[in-house]
Chain A
Amino acid sequence: MNIAVVVRQVPDLIESLDIDSTASALDWESISFIVNECDDHALEQALLLKEANGGTVSVVAFDFGDVENTLYTAAAKGAERLVKIPCETHRHPSPWTAASWYAQVIRDLAADLVLVGVQAHDEFDGVLAPALATALSMPYLGVIRGVQAGSRPTTVAACKEFPRAVRARMEIELPAVLGILGADRPPRYVPVSRIRNAMNTVHFEEPGLNVPLGESPVSVCRLYPPVSGTHAEMIAGSEAEAADRIADILVEKGLLS
């Protein structure tokens, strides 16, 4: 099975998110990037499938942020092919535009299965995974937690997550695109030494594309941090003082028995 995985760079939400001078976009130059969490699970799922059933794993990413480290890490984990798509700015194109460019690359990889995180937290004007399925003319199923080999070589079985810990097991004809929420196992740890080794031994494939940002059908008028009408009453002091105050609150509310 040839599996292609899309891996996106997204803003690290641990860091502050600054807005640029237009007030209508994030200040992408100042942002720290990390791997989109669902995409990391998509990669893990691809590696698990390959290890259980054979095949190859190709990772495709736009060239910005910390993408080279992301790709070297993917290689250290077991990905065979690493494709870096040139990108003219330090941000991910809109999902609509990105889908068409990813599709160009993935067609050449002749992938049977394409795994993409079901969502990236900086998307709001589209969703990449189903857009990619449409661009590739492949069926799509999202909100997937776990993928295994199917009953036939031309299928996979995937669990779609519903509320209250209920899942629907579905059989999918290949080729297909799946939107991954979580892998069968958490993403694996890879030692730094193996990443360093990958830096010296692997090379990136860089298709001759130069991707513009593209037009979004949605115009952004203004970005701003959320303003809430309510806010918690904050408890100040050391850990011991805060613990004491919380315990007092529980006593006041009759919650300690």
Chain B
Amino acid sequence: MSSRDVLVVADVQRDVLDDTTLELLSVGRGLAAAAEGQLMCVVLSADGQPFAESLSAADRLLLVNDVQLTVYSPGPYVTALQEVIAAEQPGVILVGGTSIGWDIAPLLACRLQAPLLTGCLAVQRQGDGLSASVSFCAGKMMADVHIAKLPAFLMVMPGSSRATDEVGRARVEIRVPSAPLAAEQIRFQEWVLPEPGDVDITQQSILVAVGRGIQQEDNVELAEELARVLHGAVCASRPVVDQGWLPATRQVGKSGMTVKPKLYLALGISGAPEHVEGMKGAGLIIAVNTDPNAPIFDVAHYGAEIDALDLLPALVEAVSAKKV
């Protein structure tokens, strides 16, 4: 155990390992190697053994197996993770910017009075501390920061690093919590799954995506019309779903769906990192936004600095004409 070591917190929910964990292992390997430390990965679940092969890139794989970790509740998760941190004393704890990560990393950072960074895109050792580049203001601003005091919690932006493809020989260690875990104050009740029947946007080859620039619910119909002409479907960024203009099943991004269509036409979408994470694999990305500095133009192949609402009728007409 050493502050040179790095601990990756695996993100497992509904028996599925989130891809971000493999990205964290890649980041963690670099940080551990730079300090000649070990890379550890902890899995909090009822039985972590099925994930051992996927996480073999770590030097040590710590499986905290407990029936109270079958489904997520912050109490048991934080208690179990705090115990691992106390035993191993890692200098860096890497957590994904996921639904669980947004709870446990800041809660533990507060409990341990340790620094916390969100939106990390790059991180390296600097002396006894760390330097990092973080993204904030929805991807419109970057900060180079320094942390002098370790341990530190780093929430790494999903998609900011390649997933590790290292096949290692992690030593598997089973950990048993020292005291019974209990979800006393916050209890899981049930999973609420999306209602069947809506369009599955992950299976569409053409997506017309609308964001805040669509301005009002009535304008979604303009995008629907374009989608009909293109034989595609309409999807959205989070603000549109938050407004109730489209169902959650149409949301693209880290907390929604990950899509890889042949064409992704982004209309009035700024391109916050959480959204880009869900669509950057599209074959062709065309972005339309009035803001020339919108981050979406950094991932798009083609862009137009135009009001999407002005473009839509003209585009329906132009596409219809070319099809004839």
Chain A residues within CB distance 8 Å of chain B: 11, 13-14, 16-17, 26, 37, 41, 96, 99, 118-119, 121-127, 129-131, 133-135, 139-143, 145, 157, 159-173, 176, 179, 181-182, 185-186, 217-228, 230-235, 239-240, 242-244, 246-251, 253, 255-257
Given A140-B74, A168-B72, A185-B244: A235 touches B187 (CB 8 Å cut-off): no
Q: How far is the CB of A253 from chain B (nearest CB, A)?
A: 6
How many chain B residues touch the partner (CB < 8 A)? 101
Encoded as 1 (CB less than 8 Å from any A CB) or 0, chain B from 17 to 57 comes to: 01000000000000000000000000000000000000000
Asked whether B300 lies within 8 Å of A250 as measured between CB atoms, the reply is no
Asked whether B184 lies within 8 Å of A230 as measured between CB atoms, the reply is no
Q: How far is the CA of A167 from the CA of B190 in the complex (A)?
A: 9
Encoded as 1 (CB less than 8 Å from any A CB) or 0, chain B from 155 to 169 comes to: 000000000000000
Q: How far is the CA of A11 from the CA of B139 in the complex (A)?
A: 13
Given A217-B149, A226-B139, A234-B305: A170 touches B191 (CB 8 Å cut-off): no
Given A171-B187, A217-B115, A226-B135: A251 touches B322 (CB 8 Å cut-off): yes
Q: Say if the beta carbon of B68 comes within 8 Å of chain A.
A: no
Q: How far is the CB of B128 from chain A (nearest CB, A)?
A: 14
Asked whether A219 lies within 8 Å of B136 as measured between CB atoms, the reply is no
Listed residue (A41, A127, A221) with the most chain B CB atoms within 10 angstroms of its CB: A127
Asked whether B256 lies within 8 Å of A165 as measured between CB atoms, the reply is yes
Within 8 A of A (CB), among B162-186: 184-186
Chain B residues within CB distance 8 Å of chain A: 13-14, 18, 71-75, 98-99, 102-103, 106-107, 109-111, 114-119, 131, 134-149, 184-194, 206, 230-231, 239, 241-244, 247-249, 251, 254-258, 262-263, 265, 270, 284-288, 291, 293, 295, 297-307, 310-311, 314-315, 317-319, 321-323
Q: How far is the CB of A170 from chain B (nearest CB, A)?
A: 6
What 10 pairs across the A-B complex have the smallest Cβ distances?
A232-B303, A228-B298, A243-B314, A217-B115, A134-B110, A232-B300, A247-B318, A127-B106, A139-B185, A130-B106
Q: How far is the CA of A234 from the CA of B296 in the complex (A)?
A: 12
Contact of A163 among B239, B256, B262, B321 (CB under 8 A): B256
Collect the chain B residues with CB atoms within 8 Å of residue A140's CB. Answer: 74, 103, 107
Q: Give A130's nearest chain B residue, CB to CB.
A: B106
Asked whether A223 lies within 8 Å of B191 as measured between CB atoms, the reply is no
Asked whether A242 lies within 8 Å of B106 as measured between CB atoms, the reply is no
Given A17-B140, A163-B254, A243-B315: A255 touches B263 (CB 8 Å cut-off): yes
Collect the chain A residues with CB atoms within 8 Å of residue B118's CB. Answer: 119, 123-127
Q: How far is the CA of A89 from the CA of B174 in the complex (A)?
A: 50
Asked whether B136 lies within 8 Å of A126 as measured between CB atoms, the reply is no
**CB pairs A–B below 8 angstroms (10 shown):** A124-B143, A139-B74, A143-B255, A168-B191, A172-B187, A221-B143, A226-B142, A232-B300, A242-B311, A250-B319
Q: Give A257's nearest chain B residue, CB to CB.
A: B231
Collect the chain A residues with CB atoms within 8 Å of residue B258's CB. Answer: 163
Q: Give A118's nearest chain B residue, CB to CB.
A: B102
Collect the chain B residues with CB atoms within 8 Å of residue A256's CB. Answer: 230, 319, 322-323
Given A125-B116, A134-B110, A226-B139: A233 touches B186 (CB 8 Å cut-off): no
Listed residue (B99, B249, B300) with the most chain A CB atoms within 10 angstroms of its CB: B99
Contact of A130 among B99, B110, B291, B300 (CB under 8 A): B110
Contact of A124 among B117, B191, B251, B293 (CB under 8 A): B117
Q: Give B274's nearest chain A residue, CB to CB.
A: A119
Given A139-B185, A168-B71, A170-B187: A162 touches B13 (CB 8 Å cut-off): yes
Q: Give B194's nearest chain A residue, CB to CB.
A: A165
Q: How far is the CB of A151 from chain B (nearest CB, A)?
A: 9
Asked whether A167 lies within 8 Å of B107 as measured between CB atoms, the reply is no
Contact of B315 among A16, A139, A170, A247 (CB under 8 A): A247
Q: How far is the CA of A140 from the CA of B103 in the complex (A)?
A: 8
Q: How far is the CA of A166 from the CA of B251 in the complex (A)?
A: 12
Q: How far is the CB of B117 from chain A (nearest CB, A)?
A: 6
Collect the chain B residues with CB atoms within 8 Å of residue A176's CB. Answer: 185-186
Q: How far is the CA of A230 from the CA of B189 in the complex (A)?
A: 45
Given A127-B102, A130-B106, A168-B191: A37 touches B239 (CB 8 Å cut-off): yes
Collect the chain B residues with CB atoms within 8 Å of residue A165's CB. Answer: 193-194, 247-249, 251, 256-257
Q: How far is the CA of A170 from the CA of B73 in the complex (A)?
A: 8
Given A186-B243, A240-B314: A221 touches B301 (CB 8 Å cut-off): no
